[in-house]
Amino acid sequence: MSAPATDNYITHARGLRSWLFTLDHKRIALLYMMSIGAAFLLGGVMALLVRTELLTPGKTIMTANQYNNVFTLHGAIMIFLFIIPSIPAIFGNFLVPVMLGVKDLAFPRMNLASYYLYIIGALFAVAAIGHGGVDTGWTFYTPYSTTTSANVIAMTLGAFILGMSSIFTGINFIVTIHKFRPPGMTWFKMPLFLWALYATSIIQVVATPVLGITLLLLIAERITGVGFFDPNLGGDPLLFQHFFWFYSHPAVYIMILPGMGIVSEIIPVFSRKPIFGYKAIAYSSVGIALLGFLVWGHHMFVSGQSTLANMIFSFLTYFVAIPSAVKVFNWLATMYKGAISLDTPMLYALAFILLFGIGGLTGVVLGALSANVHLHDTYFVVSHFHYTMMGGTVIALLAGLHYWWPKFFGRMYSEFWGRLVCVIIFIGFNITFFTQFVMGSQGMPRRYYDYISRFTIYHQISTAGAYMLAAGFVVMAVYLAASLVRGRRAPANPWGGATLEWACASPPPHDNFASQPAAPDPYDFTGMEYDANTGEWERR
Partner 1 sequence: MPLDLSKIVFSVQQGYTPREQSFWMPPPGSTGAHEVDWLMVVLLYICTFFFLLIAALLVTFAVRYRRSRVAGPQPSASHSLPLELAWSIIPLAILIVIFHFGFRGFLNIMTPPDDAYAIQVTGQKWAWMFTYPNGFVDKDLHVPVNTPVKLTMTSEDVIHSLYIPAFRIKRDALPGRYTTTWFEADRTGEFELFCTEYCGEGHSAMMARVVVHDKAEFAKWLQDAGAFIDRLPPAEAGAKLFSIQGCAQCHSVDGSGGIGPSLKNVYGTQQPLQGGSSVLADENYIRESIMDPQAQIVAGYQPVMPTYKGRLKDKEITVLIAYLKSISGAGRKELEFEAGGKKSGKEDAKP
Contact 527, 539 (CB under 8 A): yes
Alpha carbons 414 and 157: distance in angstroms, whole number: 42
Query: Residue 496 CB: number of other CB atoms within 10 A?
Result: 18
Least distance CB 47 / partner 1 (angstroms): 17
Q: Between helices 192-224 and 278-291, what is the axis angle to 10°?
A: 10
In the complex with partner 1, the residue whose CB is nearer, 193 or 356, is: 356
Contact 99, 519 (CB under 8 A): no
Least distance CB 246 / partner 1 (angstroms): 18
- The CB-side HSE value for 306 (13 A sphere, CA atoms) comes to 3
In the complex with partner 1, the residue whose CB is nearer, 136 or 172, is: 136
Least distance CB 148 / partner 1 (angstroms): 7
In the complex with partner 1, the residue whose CB is nearer, 182 or 445, is: 445
Contact 129, 73 (CB under 8 A): yes
4 burial via Cβ count (<10 Å: 0-12, 13-18, 19+): exposed
Alpha carbons 540 and 134: distance in angstroms, whole number: 59
In the complex with partner 1, the residue whose CB is nearer, 7 or 450, is: 450
Candidates 58, 62, 55, 67; CA nearest to 460 is 55
440: Cβ contacts below 8 Å, ≥ 6 apart = 375, 378, 379, 380, 381, 382, 383, 446
Alpha carbons 190 and 187: distance in angstroms, whole number: 6
Alpha carbons 339 and 252: distance in angstroms, whole number: 33
DSSP 378: B
Least distance CB 239 / partner 1 (angstroms): 11
End-to-end Cα distance, the chain? 12
Contact 221, 146 (CB under 8 A): yes
Least distance CB 436 / partner 1 (angstroms): 13
In the complex with partner 1, the residue whose CB is nearer, 178 or 337, is: 337
Candidates 148, 157, 78; CA nearest to 121 is 157
Whether cis (ω within 30° of 0) applies to the bond prior to 143 is: yes
Contact 247, 211 (CB under 8 A): yes
Least distance CB 497 / partner 1 (angstroms): 15
In the complex with partner 1, the residue whose CB is nearer, 71 or 405, is: 71
Least distance CB 361 / partner 1 (angstroms): 4
In the complex with partner 1, the residue whose CB is nearer, 113 or 365, is: 365
* Size of the chain in residues: 540
- 537: β partners: 530
- Exposure string for 112-133, b = 16+ CB within 10 A, e = fewer: bebbebbebbbebbbebbeebb
Least distance CB 490 / partner 1 (angstroms): 20
Element (H, E) at 507: none
Least distance CB 51 / partner 1 (angstroms): 16
Least distance CB 337 / partner 1 (angstroms): 4
- Exposure string for 213-241, b = 16+ CB within 10 A, e = fewer: ebbebbbebbeeeeebbbeeeebebbebb
In the complex with partner 1, the residue whose CB is nearer, 130 or 231, is: 231
Least distance CB 478 / partner 1 (angstroms): 28
In the complex with partner 1, the residue whose CB is nearer, 40 or 356, is: 356
In the complex with partner 1, the residue whose CB is nearer, 103 or 447, is: 447
In the complex with partner 1, the residue whose CB is nearer, 226 or 364, is: 364
In the complex with partner 1, the residue whose CB is nearer, 82 or 380, is: 380
DSSP SS3 for 303? coil
Least distance CB 317 / partner 1 (angstroms): 8
DSSP SS3 for 537? strand
In the complex with partner 1, the residue whose CB is nearer, 108 or 277, is: 277
Least distance CB 290 / partner 1 (angstroms): 16
Contact 213, 243 (CB under 8 A): yes
